[in-house]
Amino acid sequence: MQSPPDRSRGQLLEALAAGPVGLAALADRTGLSRAAVRDGLDALERAGFEFRETETGYAVDSVPAYGAGAIEYGLSAPVAVAYHDRLPSTNARARELATRGVSDIAVVAAEQTGGRGRRDRTWASPRGGVWLSILLRPAGSAAHAPVYTLAGAVAVADAIPDEVAARIKWPNDILVGKRKLAGVLTETATTGGELDWVIVGIGVNANVDPTDLPGEDPTSLRAELGLVDRRQLAQRIIERTHELAGAPEDILPAWRRLADTLGRRVRVETDSETIVGEAVDVTFPGALVVETPASRRTVAAGECEPLRPADPR
């Protein structure tokens, strides 16, 4: 099994992002020897960074389009990035890291060969998409786990440029109109009734051709907007997920603001029944409240489909 990334790359990038900085200051700020700083700079150059030596030190001239260092550079959340050209699933890799005690890491892959979706579905993950899993250890009760799925959906919807008008279908599908743009698959582990870790797995059809994707009428950012900067998109998603994981009370208000489901007539298929009515709210940690002709129901999990006002059951 590969090791998680060394934190010194993140520290080096943080120091470089603050402006031109000399070798001594880099060594001082990172706690590395000067030789180790030089090795770190060489590794960043091999990864595609370009530096200029100014009178006051090294200045970053150009940042690679995507990759671990590219995403870590300028990232405002204390999250390391483990980047892979190809993985079966970033969630599976994050789970391996979780069992080894790692935290605050985003596993990113250029391509997934065994991407997983909700309800054991496969998730097509060709090159060009943003496929990542954020492993965090927020404190809290095991019963709060569902709210982190909603947090992932909010993070994606907030990170997507406003022109696209992405909305969330309960609990965590990110749609443009009726077309699916992104999804979230959350996994958690608990110990003694408390959360141990949370993996928020996020797939965004970014720079992909929707005709290459299976499923019911998917869309992509490329189709909606043109090619996007995946580095920036991944950064915003990681930052917002990290922020919301530290402030769970902010998740539902943000989710309501971005919801497509609320105020609509819906059909929700749970494992045991079908509920039809108007979706009126979400309650902590993420249940949908449906007003049916007979009663007000609170649905913890299920598949939700919007209905036209006149649609029968």
Torsion-angle region of residue 179: left (phi > 0), alpha (psi -120 to 50) or beta? beta
Alpha-carbon span 130 to 201, nearest angstrom: 11
* Residue placing its CB nearer to ligand BTN in the complex, 202 or 287: 202
Shortest distance, position 180 Cβ to ligand BTN, whole Å: 7
Residue 193 DSSP symbol: T
User: Is the Cβ–Cβ distance between 52 and 44 less than 8 Å?
Assistant: no
CA neighbor of 81 nearest in space, from 122, 110, 55: 110
Question: In this chain, which residue has its C-beta nearest to ligand BTN?
Answer: 183
Shortest distance, position 118 Cβ to ligand BTN, whole Å: 4
Shortest distance, position 28 Cβ to ligand BTN, whole Å: 38
Shortest distance, position 216 Cβ to ligand BTN, whole Å: 12
* Residue placing its CB nearer to ligand BTN in the complex, 26 or 153: 153
Angle between helices 23-30 and 34-46 (to 10 degrees): 100
Shortest distance, position 58 Cβ to ligand BTN, whole Å: 34
CA–CA distance from 12 to each of 19, 27, 30 (Å)? 12, 9, 6
Binding site residues, ligand BTN, CB under 6 A = 89-91, 112, 115-118, 121, 123, 125, 131-133, 173, 183-185, 201-203
Which amino acid, residue 145? A
- b/e code 118-128 from CB counts within 10 Å (16+ = b): beeeebbbbeb
* Residue placing its CB nearer to ligand BTN in the complex, 21 or 166: 166
* Residue placing its CB nearer to ligand BTN in the complex, 80 or 174: 174
Shortest distance, position 259 Cβ to ligand BTN, whole Å: 16
Shortest distance, position 214 Cβ to ligand BTN, whole Å: 12
User: Is the Cβ–Cβ distance between 182 and 204 less than 8 Å?
Assistant: yes
> Quick one: tokens of 85?
């050209």
Sheet strands (E) in 19-162 = 50-54, 57-62, 80-87, 105-112, 130-136
* Residue placing its CB nearer to ligand BTN in the complex, 117 or 210: 117
Angle between helices 251-258 and 146-159 (to 10 degrees): 50
Within 8 A by CB and 6+ apart from 255, the residues are 150, 153, 154, 168, 282
Shortest distance, position 25 Cβ to ligand BTN, whole Å: 37
